[in-house]
Structure 1
Amino acid sequence: MSRAADPAPDTAPDTAPAGARRRPRVLVVQHQEDCPPALVGRWLEEAGVELDVRHPYRGDALPADLAAHDALLVLGGSMGADDDADHPWLTPTKQLVRTATRAETPVLGVCLGHQLVGRALGGRVDRNPRGQQVGLVETGWTAAAADDALVGAVAPGAQRGVHWNDDLVVELPPGAVVLAETPAGEAQVVRHAPGAWGVQLHPEVDAAVVRAWAVGDAERHAARGVDQAAVIAEVDAARAELDAAWRPLAQAFADVAAGELEAARQR
């Protein structure tokens, strides 16, 4: 899948002939090298989306607004949602979330991205008192998911997702709606505001991405007795299930980015 090492010019979104679907342009904020768009990025491109991937940890600039983009995708990372002092691009990322929400530009946050969306809109993020979540976790859809524009098509088939997180959105923003919960009752998928969603799980990862994360957590997992090889093998064995379950999320986000909310609801 294509990746631009340098930021793409902030030009106006593509236009298309009358009656044809316009190709939406999505700004992607990637926080570190081992947290790429991966499968979700590939699925979005296959759905006709143009990805403008920015790597602010390498020095890529973030735009001041989203006038040249149709949607915002904020990826995961090992830092915390309030670690702006050590990772200064988190401040403009959260501002972009607020700008997008005011402008009704669709937003999707993944893991840290979900936490940043929640934090930007008035929620609170903290460590999970139960400790780090690792591996496949059941997805507990709520009744509100059924007619949600983004996850309405996902909920019937997505029964598990990959988690790899220390933090949670422990207080949701005002007006937020929980669309899925973990078995422990933690917010797992949230509509933080109209048109702004977050998923605590990682629909984008495969075993190769998880294997890279495992290297960084090897010492503490050994201390906790986490069998990393078994976790990676379980994720790999579930590949067909996870692809079938979460690919519709990318298609729905492509539809939302293209302004096809009703198509996303009906898909």
Structure 2
Amino acid sequence: MTAPRLLVLQPDATGPIGPLGDWLTAAGAELDIRQPPADELPARLDGYQGLICLGGGMNAEDDAAHPWLKRVRDLLATGARTALPTLGICLGSQLLAVATGGQVSKGANGPEVGAHLIAKKDAAWTDPLFAELPLMPDVMHFHAGEISRLPASAVLLASSPKYPHQAFRLGQCAYGVQFHIETTVEVVQSWARHAPEMAATAKPGAFDTATLSQIHQDLADTWRPFAARFVDLAAGALKPAAPTPRGTLPLA
């Protein structure tokens, strides 16, 4: 299998790709990591077999402070439209949603912070990436915004009691997840220190080192195979989801 080349967009210095990068490269991928605005974003996605956008502390439409966000949304929209395997994580999922006709707003139920379980929806059981996940996989949350409306063509794959749009698919192979799978103990503790009001909404002891260490082992057990399936999807070794009869993808 030829190593698929993945473009990784990192919107925020505090949100590196972490162990997810190790899982992807161990599965055979080659990563091209770009952190705007210091790193130039490619004009096209030619030469890439997959696209990943990580999280960040800014809002998905905060173009005034971060004018390069529009280019990120354009790349995500192109990935979705052209059936390029695409994955948006937390802010990345919000950017993907906005870029394809969805809506993001301040979370009506307050921040969602700390380790939680999400629940797979019926469509996830036949999805190439989600089918093999457990019924209620472990995830790490750290967000104050929500995807308040999914794009019209989106397929909902997972929900949580607080915010229903936890994971979705657009077309055959563009995915958004409103949670983190790429964190480390140190990264989460850093977020908690720099956002104490958000951190205060988590369960007591949520950021203790021992607690986070166990959580991250559980995350690795669940999401390392998911990352390998994404690489297989990008390499053409895993068949994408069947086309949905909902027409063309609406792009904002």
- What TM-score does the superposition give when structure 1 sets the normalisation length? 0.85
Detail structure 1 runs of 4+ shifted over 6 Å in the superposition.
Answer: none
Structure 2 counterparts to residues 121-132 of structure 1, below 5 A = 121-132=100-111
Output one character per residue of 1:125-170: Cα deviation in whole Å (capped at 9) or x when no partner.
01111111110111110111011122122x2265221000011111
Between stretches 187-196 and 45-54, larger displacement belongs to 187-196
For 2:160 and 2:85, how far apart are their aligned partners in 1? Answer: 24
- Alignment-derived partner of residue 33 in structure 1: 13
- Alignment-derived partner of residue 243 in structure 1: 220
For 1:44 and 1:119, how far apart are their aligned partners in 2? Answer: 26
Output one character per residue of 1:209-267: Cα deviation in whole Å (capped at 9) or x when no partner.
1011112112x257x565675334432222322111111111111011111223999xx
Structure 2 counterparts to residues 133-172 of structure 1, below 5 A = 133-153=112-132, 155-156=133-134, 159-172=137-150
Output one character per residue of 1:159-204: Cα deviation in whole Å (capped at 9) or x when no partner.
2210000111110001101100012352111113321101111011
**From 34, 42, 45, the counterpart of 1:63:** 42
Structure 2 counterparts to residues 47-126 of structure 1, below 5 A = 47-57=27-37, 59-126=38-105
- What TM-score does the superposition give when structure 2 sets the normalisation length? 0.89
One-letter amino acid of the structure 2 residue matched with residue 86 of structure 1 = A
CA gap of 1:260–1:86, structure 2 versus 1, over 3 A, is same
One-letter amino acid of the structure 2 residue matched with residue 215 of structure 1 = R
CA gap of 1:211–1:67, structure 2 versus 1, over 3 A, is same
Output one character per residue of 1:10-49: Cα deviation in whole Å (capped at 9) or x when no partner.
xxxxxxxxxxx11000000001111001011110010010
Whether contact under 8 Å (1:101, 1:193) holds in the other structure is: yes
Whether contact under 8 Å (1:169, 1:187) holds in the other structure is: yes
- Alignment-derived partner of residue 205 in structure 1: 183
**Structure 1 segments unaligned to the other structure (5+ residues):** 1-20
Residue 258 in structure 1 maps to residue 239 in structure 2? no
Q: Alignment partner of 1:230: what SS?
A: coil
Identity %: 38
For 1:97 and 1:236, how far apart are their aligned partners in 2? Answer: 32
Pairwise CA RMSD of aligned residues?
2.0
For 1:158 and 1:225, how far apart are their aligned partners in 2? Answer: 22
Between stretches 45-54 and 209-218, larger displacement belongs to 209-218
- Alignment-derived partner of residue 152 in structure 2: 174
Whether contact under 8 Å (1:118, 1:192) holds in the other structure is: no
CA gap of 1:56–1:69, structure 2 versus 1, over 3 A, is same
What is the count of residue pairs matched by the alignment?
Answer: 241
Residue 231 in structure 1 maps to residue 235 in structure 2? no
For 2:51 and 2:160, how far apart are their aligned partners in 1? Answer: 25
CA gap of 1:144–1:199, structure 2 versus 1, over 3 A, is same
Whether contact under 8 Å (1:123, 1:174) holds in the other structure is: yes
For 1:166 and 1:113, how far apart are their aligned partners in 2? Answer: 14
For 1:225 and 1:49, how far apart are their aligned partners in 2? Answer: 37
Whether contact under 8 Å (1:252, 1:264) holds in the other structure is: no
